[in-house]
Structure 1
Amino acid sequence: MRAFTTFSPLRKTLLGLAMAGALGAAGQAQAGEVEVLHWWTSGGEAKAVGELRDLLEAEGHEWKDFAVAGGAGDSAMTVLKSRAMSGNPPAAAQINGPSIQEWGELGLLGNLDGVAEAGNWDELLPEVVSNMMRHDGHYVAVPVNVHRVNWLWANPEVLEDAGVEMPTTWDELFAAGETLRDAGYVPLAHGGQPWQDATIFESVVLSLGGSDFYRRAFVDLDEKTLQSDTMIEALTTFKRLRKLMDEGMPGRDWNLATGMVIDGEAAMQIMGDWAKGEFTAAGMKAGEDYVCAPVPGTKDAFTFNIDSFAMFQLGDEEAREAQKTLARLILEPEFQKTFNQIKGSIPARPDLDMSGFDSCAKRSMQDFQAARDANTLVPSMAHRMAMRSDVQGAFFDIITNYFNSSDMAAEQAAERLAQAAKLAM
């Protein structure tokens, strides 16, 4: 992963306010209070984050919830930038991937090295996880979990009723889609939002190009790769998937799409394993009431999204202690197990006993470790893991415009992706 030294256009303004404003305003927090910005607002997510709140309050500190709805965190990041510009960031904020480095460059993040040393984070965390939690060699964030993004979810009763099997190739998926449509079901539930479009697209790219191709495209931003025949094939396959979706998808939230699978209105959904939290909240059991499988063609790879909380600098000593307690609790076994069983993800620390997790989570942990050993772990482009936020925004615009355009060719979309990558260099 590259170390980024540029931020969004807000960088210059934020730098001028970073130290004096942030330390002054943040230091006014009540003793022992931690204001936590996050975007976990769906049923399963809200229940999961409530576990962390309860643990913090059990140790005598106060949790001030700052939830901003929006599945990919775009709205939350807009609010966070506004708060930072006014010199009043929260104590902790859900910030993922390279964005941690961007905020670290602004000098706003606190130092968690003492908590990390006491908790032996270097030994507990896989290197791919711990590296993302550091800025300039120092821990500034703590990982909550590891999500697998390249999952295909399905309602087995719907599949059985239509007489189709869980698809393992794109050809099988398209063939199943026709049969499911004829049987009166929506073949593929989807929410027409840019981040959801990008979630599907990155899985198609991984499937058809493999992990090395994926990295060249989305991490290295290689222009030749972005304009290649393989990328054009991925774009073409991606757009074909639109025919498997319903007309009501524009603007639909991801959890509502998951609800379509839960209710038997739709057969399948391509979505990260946070979708499993919705199945769990609905009282459904993995392997029986719903089934999971890697997106066709990606069974040997693992697209990861690491949820993490970055800690902002605070002036008040008691507030800093509460903040450190929050960081410590996040990586303790009790929270890691309880939270991830509810959320649908797997623990950030792989040393924990997985016997209490469901079959999808157990497979996810096995596949994560296998992909780590085989060097087929790839960071999610759609979920702030692979590239700078401004580049990601440009890619989102191109991907979703292409997906919804009746006259943009795959070759045009590929060329625009390459142009966006060129401007980012």
Structure 2
Amino acid sequence: MKSIRTTLVAATALCGVSVAHATDLEVTHWWTSGGEAAAVAEFAKAFDATGNKWVDGAIAGSGGTARPIMISRITGGDPMGATQFNHGRQAEELVEAGLMRDLTEIAEKNNWKDIVRPASLLDSCTLDGKIYCVPVNIHSQQWLWLNNSVFEKAGVAVPTNWDEFAAAAPKLEAAGVVPLALGQQPWQTTLAFQVLLVALAGPDAYTKVFGDKDAEFAAGPDMARVFQAAATARDMAKNSNVQNWNDATTMVITGKAAGQIMGDWAQGEFQVAGQVAGKDYTCLPGLGVNEVIQTGGDAFYFPKVDDAAITEAQGVLAEVMMSPETQVAFNLKKGSLPVRGDVDLNAANDCMRKGLDILAKGNVIPSPDQLMSADSLTLVNDLFVEFFNTPSLTAEEAQTRFASIVEEAD
């Protein structure tokens, strides 16, 4: 492994959490959009209800911007109280360097192994049998978000799958609408490609490429279809002209664009805008083709500190984040699914129910961060930034280069 890569809860709901000293605890994360800020406020409310104080350390930009700052502080001797990373291998070098707190005792006390579903989420927090992080949600990137009114105005039926969406592009453009909103942050272009891969070539193909590092398959005919679809997506998004993912989501919400390939966190933006799932917008898991849930998401790590009060507050926050009430409140705002399999989600909307149904069926795949190193994923990101910004780069040329990256990946 190479580069390294927070419900309003009544105090009585946190019966397992006790506080001897009220402590300020700085928590760093990259949740700054409207929907994300509403969600992270639920963590802050729940933690503050214990008598401690959440000190928000939001870092503007994506994880790619925030992670190096977080890592630099930890390795430079200025650790925060808690910090967000994604599930997977991003914090492994920090753990191996002995800079992250072992949460095994807290996890065993609260029976995390019995309640976290799927088990792979807790496995991603585990190194050499010890648990080092708190998984807080299940985020899947395998979604297509559509503005229903845009299609109605263009005289096109709301698509039920990717092929219908792509076929509607000419009429959408004729109506003055950008078919596909796509931001230019590197991870967004890679996300679009990965979603197309799973939808059109299937979950097994995804595993072969990112898990098995099968370069021969990556260069083969099944993947050629995916690259051709990516070229179609590139053309559909040519007039998108936004940078951030939430700006692309806003294009869909406001009717400037018809759809967006984006993770379920986009749902938080629709909720903040007062949009109703199944009425104002449609969500298609797996692009309406291969309905799967990717078991990625977010987890919180707790850097080691030489301060007993902060150490105690870290343990309180870890328990708060995993409490049933907080899990429900946070994930309803975030658009993600809870990691606990024993919570009441009667308030779930149409899109969350779709995700829960898929999860219940066991149709899950791991996230790229759980399969491929950060160095290798950076090379993949760089390729797709270039591909989506360079119309002269053909699908065939991009596939050849992708296969070479896969061959050398770890």
Deviation at 1:420? 2.2
State whether residues 22 and 51 of structure 2, in contact with CA within 8 Å, keep that contact through their aligned partners in structure 1: no
State whether residues 146 and 260 of structure 2, in contact with CA within 8 Å, keep that contact through their aligned partners in structure 1: yes
State whether residues 152 and 158 of structure 2, in contact with CA within 8 Å, keep that contact through their aligned partners in structure 1: no
Q: State which drifts further: 154-163 or 275-284.
A: 154-163
Q: Which amino acid aligns with 1:218?
A: F
Tell whether 2:151 aligns with 1:159.
yes
How do 1:124-139 and structure 2 match up within 5 A? Answer: 124-126=115-117, 127-139=119-131
| Deviation sequence 1:261-305 (CA, Å, 0-9, x none) | 111221111111111000111111111122211243544322232
Tell whether 2:407 aligns with 1:416.
no
Q: CA RMSD in A?
A: 1.9
Q: Which amino acid aligns with 1:380?
A: S
Unaligned runs of 5+ in 2: 6-20
How do 1:112-131 and structure 2 match up within 5 A? Answer: 112-126=103-117, 127-131=119-123
- Alpha-carbon distance in structure 2 between the residues aligned to 1:385 and 1:270: 21
SS of 1:363's equivalent in the other structure is: helix
| Deviation sequence 1:236-257 (CA, Å, 0-9, x none) | 21011122124242x5211111
* Alignment match of 2:259 (pick from 244, 262, 268): 268
Q: Which amino acid aligns with 1:232?
A: A
State whether residues 372 and 409 of structure 2, in contact with CA within 8 Å, keep that contact through their aligned partners in structure 1: no
Residue 148 of structure 1: aligned partner: 140
Deviation at 1:77? 0.8
SS of 2:202's equivalent in the other structure is: helix
Q: Calculate percent identity across the aligned residue pairs.
A: 38
How do 1:315-394 and structure 2 match up within 5 A? Answer: 315-370=306-361, 372=362, 376-381=363-368, 384-394=369-379
State whether residues 168 and 295 of structure 1, in contact with CA within 8 Å, keep that contact through their aligned partners in structure 2: no
- Alpha-carbon distance in structure 1 between the residues aligned to 2:71 and 2:113: 30
Deviation at 1:413? 1.8
- Alpha-carbon distance in structure 2 between the residues aligned to 1:413 and 1:89: 40
| Deviation sequence 1:392-422 (CA, Å, 0-9, x none) | 1011011221222233232322222232233
Q: State which drifts further: 338-347 or 61-70.
A: 61-70
State whether residues 150 and 298 of structure 1, in contact with CA within 8 Å, keep that contact through their aligned partners in structure 2: no
Tell whether 2:2 aligns with 1:7.
yes
State whether residues 180 and 187 of structure 1, in contact with CA within 8 Å, keep that contact through their aligned partners in structure 2: yes
Q: Which amino acid aligns with 2:92?
A: Q
Residue 65 of structure 2: aligned partner: 75
Q: What is the number of residues matched between the two proteins?
A: 393
Residue 27 of structure 1: aligned partner: none
Give the structure-2-normalised TM-score: 0.91
- Alpha-carbon distance in structure 1 between the residues aligned to 2:409 and 2:167: 39
Residue 252 of structure 1: aligned partner: 243
SS of 1:365's equivalent in the other structure is: helix
- 1:210–1:420 distance in 2 versus 1, CA, 3 Å: same
Deviation at 1:114? 1.8
State whether residues 100 and 135 of structure 1, in contact with CA within 8 Å, keep that contact through their aligned partners in structure 2: no
- Alpha-carbon distance in structure 1 between the residues aligned to 2:157 and 2:182: 20
How do 1:197-346 and structure 2 match up within 5 A? Answer: 197-249=189-241, 251-296=242-287, 298-346=289-337
- Alpha-carbon distance in structure 1 between the residues aligned to 2:26 and 2:217: 43
Deviation at 1:344? 0.8
- Alpha-carbon distance in structure 2 between the residues aligned to 1:99 and 1:49: 21
SS of 1:168's equivalent in the other structure is: coil
* Alignment match of 2:89 (pick from 95, 98, 104): 98
State whether residues 340 and 347 of structure 1, in contact with CA within 8 Å, keep that contact through their aligned partners in structure 2: yes
Residue 12 of structure 2: aligned partner: none
Residue 63 of structure 1: aligned partner: 54
Q: Which amino acid aligns with 1:153?
A: W
- Alpha-carbon distance in structure 2 between the residues aligned to 1:50 and 1:170: 35
SS of 1:158's equivalent in the other structure is: helix
